[in-house]
Structure 1
Amino acid sequence: MSIYCDVRKRKKGTVYKYIVSVNRKHFKAKEQMTFSTKAAGKAWALHVEKEMLKQADAEEPKYESARSRTGDITLRTYLETYRAKMETLPERERISHRDMLAIKFWEGTWLAEKRSNEITEQHLIDLLDERLGKVTAATNHVYVSVLRKAIDWQKRVGLHFKRFITPEVMKELWRLKLVGKSKRDNFRPTETQIKELYTFLLDGYNKPTGSIPHHHLMLFSIYSTFREGEICSLKWTNLDAENGFIIIEDRKDPNDKYGNHQKVPIPPECLEIIAMQPRLDDEPRIFPYKAKSVASHFSEITKKLGVPELRFHSFRHEGISRLFEQKMQIPDVAARSGHQTWENLRRYTHLLHREPADLWAQCKEIEEDYWATHEVKNRLLKKINKQRSA
C-alpha cells in the first residue's frame, strides 16, 4: 500500500494530487484526487487508504470507489462503466441492441452530467417532459425501464449510484403521463394495398443495384407470421422442405431467448418463396439481410405511398389474423407465431374477415406478368439466370 503526493504548480496556485493504492494477491485498488491544500489531500488519502484496507480484509474482497461512495460520480461515468461491463459478458447475458442504444442515449443527455448525490426525480421529470415533443410516452417508458435496470446492476458494475427511479417515482411518471403503454398495432392492409405494394417493391428490386427482395419478404411475413428478425435469421440447414418444417433458432421468449430453438410448421406458400431465393456461397441464411434495414425500408416506402400506419410488422399481424379466419385453433396459431399466452393473441380475433384472399397466387401472377414485359436489370438476378441456363 502507498500514498503518493504529486505537487503541481499552476497559474492559480499550487495543487496537490494524491494517489492512494493497495496491491494484494486478490485485491487491487487505486484512487486519485486533486486538492488545493495539502492538509485536505492528506486527510482524504488516509481515509481512503483505511477504507481500502478494510475492504481488502473482507471475506469477499471487492473495492468500491471512494468517489462512488460519496456520490462523486456522474451518471455518465456509471453508464460508461456499465456498458464496459456488458461487453465483457457472454452474449446471452448482455442486454439487447435496442437497450444498448437507450443507454447511449442517456449518456448523451444533460442528465448524465448530474452526480449521484445531486440527481433527483425532478431532473428525470424535466427531461422526459422535453422528450415528449419528439417521442411517445411509450418510448419514454422503455428508456426509463432500461436506465432503472442499469442502476440496479451496481453491485456487478462495482460502483454505487443513487436509485432515484423508485416505484413511487414510476407511479408519478404514469400519473403525469410522461410514460405510457405502447399503442397496439391493429392496422391490417387491404388486398389492393398489398398488390400495389408488391408491384412497387418488385419494380424497386429490378434495379441494377437491387439487393433485397422486399416483395418476397412481405408475402413471406404474411404466410409465416414470423418476426422480421426471425425471417432474417432462418438457415438453409434448418429447413425441412419435404415435411414442411423449419427451425427458428433463439426464438424470442419473455424469459430467455438463447437456446430457445423451435421447430415450426411452414406453409407451402413460404416454401415456394424460399425456392425462389438464390443460395449464396458462404452464406448460411435464406434471407441474408439486416432485419432493422428491412423494417426501416418498408416504413420509408409506406410513408411515400401515403400509408404511414403500414409497417413491416403489420404483415405479421395480417398473417396471424388470417390464420384465425381459416378457423385454425389457438395452439396451432401460437406454434407458428411464437406467442406465449392467449392474452397476446386475443387482439387478433376481433378483426376477422370471412374469406382471406389468396394473396400469393395473385402476387405470383403479378410477378409473372412483370417479368414477361420487363427487362431484367438487377445484376444479381442476371448472374443467377446466367448460372441456371448454363
Structure 2
Amino acid sequence: MATIRSREDQDGITIGWQAQIKRKGFPLQIKTFRTKAEATHWATVTESEMMRGIFIQRSESEQTTVHDLLSRYAREILPTLKGGHKELSRIRVLQNGLGQYSLAALNSSMIAKYRDKRLSTMSEKTGRLVGTQTVKHELGLLQRALKMAVMEWGIALPNGIPTAMVKKPPLPAARTRRLIDNEESRLLDACADAQTPWLLPVVIFAIETAMRAGEILETWKYIKDTEGGKVKTKTSNGLQWSDVDLNKRTAHLPMTKNGEARTVPLSSRAVEVLRHLPRNLDGRVFGTTYEGLHQSYARACKRADIEDLRFHDLRHEATSRFFEKGLREMQVAAITGHKTLQMLKRYTHLKAEDLAKLLG
C-alpha cells in the first residue's frame, strides 16, 4: 500500500508531496511531487503495474540523459569498433539535438522532430542540406546506444526503444557511374602522365580487384577529439607485401570496413601490376596514402576530360565487371566483402548491351 506524506520547509509550509511504495518482490519506490493529486496518481499507476506484472524500474532512466548515454557509449563502446572514431561527430550532433532529455522522457515524437529538423538543416561542411544518409546514420547510432543501455547496462526504458518506431529517411538513389566509351583508356593515359608514379598502378589495381581505397592505401583522417581539437588519426594501414602471395595470386586483408578479414583473388593484370612495383622498406605495397593520391587522381580526370568519376566508382566498375564475366552473387561477395546481397546490388550496375548478348 502506498504512503503519501507532505514535505514541509523550515517554516512548516508544505512544498511538496512524497509517495512511497513498499511491496514484496519489488524495490522501494519513492518519488516527490508538487501536488498531492500527482503523488496519488503516480502511486496508483505504479501499484497497478506491479500487480499486473508490467512494472518497470524508471529511476535510472529518469536520471540518465541522452547526453550521458551517448558519452558512455563513446567512452566504452566506440574504442572497440573498427572506425569507431567516425561516430564521434554524430554523437556530438545527437547530443546537441536530444541530449537534454532523460531516457525515460524520450519518445518517438521527439526523435521524429529531430529527424525532420536535421533534414532541413544546412551542412556547414558542404553548404547543402544535410543528406538523408547522414540522418539515417545518426538515428542508427542512437538506436544502437539505446539497445546497449537496455541489453548490457540494465537501464529499463519505459517507452521501449523509440527509434524503432520512427520512420527512417529514404536512402538517396545509388550512384550508377561507370566507365563509358573510351573513358578507361583516357583515364589510364592521364594517370600515366601524372607526376606521381603510383597513380597508374593504383587505378588499375582498383579496377581489377574492387578493393576499397582504405584497403589499398594507407589512409589518415583529421577528427575532433572530445575537447573539439583536431587530431590526425590513421584509419587504414593499406595493403602490405606480407599479405600478398603472387604465386597463389591472392591478397589477404586482415581487417576490412565491415570488421571481417577476407582474401581477394588477383587477376593476371593485377598480378602484373604488383610484379612491377618496387618494394618499400615499410612493407606497404603502394608507398603513398590516399590523401596524397587524391589530388593527383582528380587532376588526371580533369586532363582526361572525365567528369564526376570518383575513385570509389572504380569499385562499382570492378564489381559490375565480375558479374559480366559470369561470376555468381556469392562469388562476387567473397571478392568484394559485401555482407548482404542488397548491399551488393547497390554497387552493381550491369550494362544493358552486355545483358542483351547473354540473351542471344
How far did 1:354 drift? 4.7
* Equivalent residue runs for 1:45-60 within 5 Å: none
**CA distance in 2 between partners of 1:127 and 1:299 (Å):** 38
User: After superposition, what is the alpha-carbon deviation per residue over 1:295-353, rounded to whole angstroms, capped at 9, x for unaligned?
Assistant: 97589669978866422221111112223333445554344223455555556363255
Pair 1:150-2:145 in alignment: yes
Residue 175 (structure 2) aligns with:
185
Residue 241 (structure 1) aligns with:
246
How far did 1:129 drift? 1.9
SS in 1 for 2:252: strand
CA contact 1:227–1:316 (8 Å) conserved in 2: yes
CA contact 2:176–2:349 (8 Å) conserved in 1: no
**CA distance in 1 between partners of 2:190 and 2:107 (Å):** 52
User: After superposition, what is the alpha-carbon deviation per residue over 1:63-121, rounded to whole angstroms, capped at 9, x for unaligned?
Assistant: xxx9962624432222112211126x6x36x67343344223323x2322333354443
How far did 1:235 drift? 1.6
CA contact 2:106–2:159 (8 Å) conserved in 1: no
SS in 2 for 1:141: helix
User: After superposition, what is the alpha-carbon deviation per residue over 1:10-64, rounded to whole angstroms, capped at 9, x for unaligned?
Assistant: xxxxxxxxxxxxxxxxxxxxxxxxxxx7899xx99xx9xxxxx98xxxxxxxxxx
**CA distance in 2 between partners of 1:308 and 1:204 (Å):** 18
Amino acid paired to 1:110: G
Residue 130 (structure 1) aligns with:
117
How far did 1:164 drift? 6.8
Q: CA, structure 1 residues 345+113, in 2 after alignment: closer, same or farther (shift >3 Å)?
A: closer
TM-score by length of 2: 0.61
* Equivalent residue runs for 1:171-320 within 5 Å: 173-174=167-168, 179-201=169-191, 205-206=195-196, 213-232=198-217, 233-251=238-256, 257-258=259-260, 261-281=261-281, 283-287=282-286, 293=291, 309-320=308-319
CA contact 1:201–1:215 (8 Å) conserved in 2: yes
How far did 1:149 drift? 0.8
**CA distance in 1 between partners of 2:300 and 2:161 (Å):** 38
Amino acid paired to 2:101: K
CA contact 2:66–2:98 (8 Å) conserved in 1: yes
SS in 2 for 1:123: helix
CA contact 2:198–2:287 (8 Å) conserved in 1: no
CA contact 1:239–1:245 (8 Å) conserved in 2: yes
TM-score by length of 1: 0.57
Greater helix fraction, Structure 1 or Structure 2: 1
**CA distance in 2 between partners of 1:114 and 1:165 (Å):** 14
- Structure 2 gaps of 5+ residues are 1-8, 22-26, 29-56, 121-128, 218-237, 356-360
Q: CA, structure 1 residues 190+95, in 2 after alignment: closer, same or farther (shift >3 Å)?
A: closer
Please tell me the root mean square deviation across aligned C-alpha atoms, in Å. Answer: 4.4
Pair 1:77-2:64 in alignment: no
Over the matched positions of the two proteins, sequence identity in percent amounts to 21
Q: CA, structure 1 residues 114+288, in 2 after alignment: closer, same or farther (shift >3 Å)?
A: farther
**CA distance in 1 between partners of 2:160 and 2:300 (Å):** 41
- Structure 1 gaps of 5+ residues are 1-36, 48-52, 55-65, 207-211, 356-390
